Amino acid sequence: MSGQTHRVEVTLETLLESVDLAEDITMRVADAAGFDEEQRYRIGMSVREGVINAYQYGNQAERDRKIVLTLELTPEKLVIRVLDQGPGFSLADVPDPLAEENLLKTSGRGLFLMKAFMDEFAVNPGPAGGAELVMAKRYPAGPGGAQPAK
Amino acid sequence: MSFKATARDIGDATVMDLSGRITLGEGSAMLREMIKELVGKGRKHIVLNLGDVTYIDSSGIGELVSGFQTVRTSGGQLKLLHLTKKVHDLLQITKLFTVFDVYSDESVALASFTS
């Protein structure tokens, strides 16, 4: 392990295609970091859901707004940020999709999946407005565990 | 792998064989339209065969729920067949496994419909 932090930042247009692009970039970074297939799937799905959230609810599908995806390989974990240019929101205001009254709703599960699939998850106000989703996945422990890309 | 769906009528039931990805902007809208079309034609016993579905996101899960509601509102029933491990796990963590009728055998799924 090099002890350094490696960082990739991508600015995406508010387009449906950006969802697949963000997932693809993330899967490549997670692969380079040594995460196994199951963990890559979970990390990729979380970023997909994060960018969908930014596309639909944050930027409200307005193409001229941007989505900034940042991937940081720190010595301990992969840290991912998804920043939008929307009105921002608080996690406490988001309905629980597991509540009986919400089980048959057709949306509202994306944030829940990110929380379920990642080791850490938070929603912060963006530095210049909007919402910033911050999530992290620790590298597997032990021999053969993931290592940040050199 | 892009989303594909074909429908087979077996007696009063229709089996929809789905494959590929059911995601926002890819398979989800197409699946919604196909289910609405079937219900519009009076088909009320629908089995979604998910055996070849390689990936599903929260939008895809939402479409399964939407299809379930559409069919139920028309007085019919929608069942799921051949869940892959990933889809099975997603339905479990979202508690939807308790909502859907899930089968691993097509003939058993077809026999389960009550008129």
Calculate how close chain B gets to A75, using CA atoms only, in Å.
29
pLDDT tens-place string over residues A6-35? 999 999 999 999 999 999 999 999 999 999
**Using 50, 70 and 90 to split pLDDT, how confident is the model at B115?**
low
Closest alpha carbon to B78 in B86, B66, B87, B93: B66
A75: pLDDT strictly greater than 70: yes
Instruction: State the best of A47, A55, A109, A133 to mutate against chain B, taking most chain B CBs within 10 Å.
Output: A109
Task: Output the domain CATH number for residue B39.
Answer: 3.30.750.24
**Interval A111-119 mean pLDDT:** 98
Residue B115 in any domain: the answer is no
> What is this model's ipTM?
0.90
A77: pLDDT strictly greater than 60: yes
Q: How far is residue A114's CA from residue A122's CA, in Å, rounded to a whole number?
A: 10
**Using 50, 70 and 90 to split pLDDT, how confident is the model at B64?**
very high
When divided into structural domains, chain B yields a total of: 1
Residue B54 in any domain: the answer is yes
Closest alpha carbon to A109 in A49, A40, A36: A49
Kindly state which CATH superfamily the domain A6-138 is placed in.
Answer: Histidine kinase-like ATPase, C-terminal domain (3.30.565.10)
Q: Do A104 and B25 touch (CB under 8 A)?
A: no
On whether any CB of chain B is under 8 Å from the CB of A104, the answer is yes
The reported pLDDT for the residue numbered A53 is: 97
| Interface A:B, Cβ pairs < 8 A | 47
Residue B16 in any domain: the answer is yes
The reported pLDDT for the residue numbered B29 is: 85
Q: Do A98 and B94 touch (CB under 8 A)?
A: yes
Q: Which residues contact A44 (CB under 8 A, 6 or more apart)?
A: A23, A26, A27, A30
Q: Taking the model in full, what pTM does it have?
A: 0.92
pLDDT tens-place string over residues A127-149? 999 999 999 999 987 544 555 55
Residue B114 in any domain: the answer is no
Q: Where are the domains of chain A?
A: 6-138
Range of the domain at B14: 4-108
Residue B97 in any domain: the answer is yes
